[in-house]
């Protein structure tokens, strides 16, 4: 199964459309920040993605808080605090960001993230907006690690096969915690995305328009 992963679209659905036209995929995963706070921008992004495959998404910290309670939108499935099976793989999600100095629209305390993830139980693929703490994928421009400790703890304890994230624009890449592969494709608003092949061996290809 070929998975198209994008995050941090921030209303630039035309970039998403251009990237999807280049790829042949089965599933599109949008790991948050589809918009700059507008539900119509979220709808646009999901609608574009749905033209190219089945769609799973989680809200990001900059998306409208109303999105947290919407389970299905434009044919896409919101997996925030939910599990969803697709092609024999179990996906589970947690949207929003961990607490930051910027007080963005959707932020959660580490305790809230921990409780939300605990409710998921075991999943094969964890889809989150914020990356796990202390990896190559959560380094801010200052050089500090700013990811979620609760997400890292979940990965260490539950050991999903794969974690798909975004949020930290300046830290695209691939990392690993134990057996779990983790990918932050970088911001789609700048043409960055990833193709993940979910087969016997997982392969990840970071791409740029």
pLDDT at 171: 98
The 10s digit of each residue's pLDDT in 80-135 is 999 999 999 999 999 999 999 999 999 999 999 999 999 999 999 999 999 999 99
Answer whether CATH 3.40.30.10 is correct for domain 2-208: no
On whether the CB atoms of residues 156 and 149 are closer than 8 A, the answer is: no
pLDDT at 179: 97
Q: Is the whole-model pTM more than 0.95?
A: yes
The 10s digit of each residue's pLDDT in 12-60 is 999 999 999 999 999 999 999 999 999 999 999 999 999 999 999 999 9
């Amino acid at each position: 199964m070929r998975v198209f992963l994008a995050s941090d679209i921030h209303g630039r659905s035309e970039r998403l459309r251009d990237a999807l036209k280049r790829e042949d995929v089965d599933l599109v995963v949008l790991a948050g920040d589809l918009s700059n706070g507008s539900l119509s921008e979220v709808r646009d992004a999901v609608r574009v993605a749905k033209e190219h495959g089945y769609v799973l998404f989680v809200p990001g910290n900059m998306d409208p808080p109303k999105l947290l309670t919407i389970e299905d939108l434009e044919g896409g499935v919101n997996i925030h605090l939910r599990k969803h099976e697709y092609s024999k793989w179990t996906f589970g999600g947690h949207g929003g960001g961990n607490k930051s100095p910027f007080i963005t629209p959707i932020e959660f305390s580490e305790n809230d993230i921990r409780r939300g993830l605990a409710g998921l139980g075991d999943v094969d693929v964890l889809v989150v907006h914020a990356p796990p703490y202390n990896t190559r994928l959560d380094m801010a421009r200052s050089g500090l690690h700013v990811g979620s400790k609760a997400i890292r703890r979940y990965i260490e304890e539950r050991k999903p096969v794969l974690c798909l994230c975004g949020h930290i624009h300046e830290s695209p890449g691939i990392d690993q915690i134990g057996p779990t592969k983790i990918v932050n494709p970088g911001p789609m608003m700048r043409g960055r995305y990833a193709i993940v092949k979910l087969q016997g061996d997982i392969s990840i290809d970071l791409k740029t328009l």
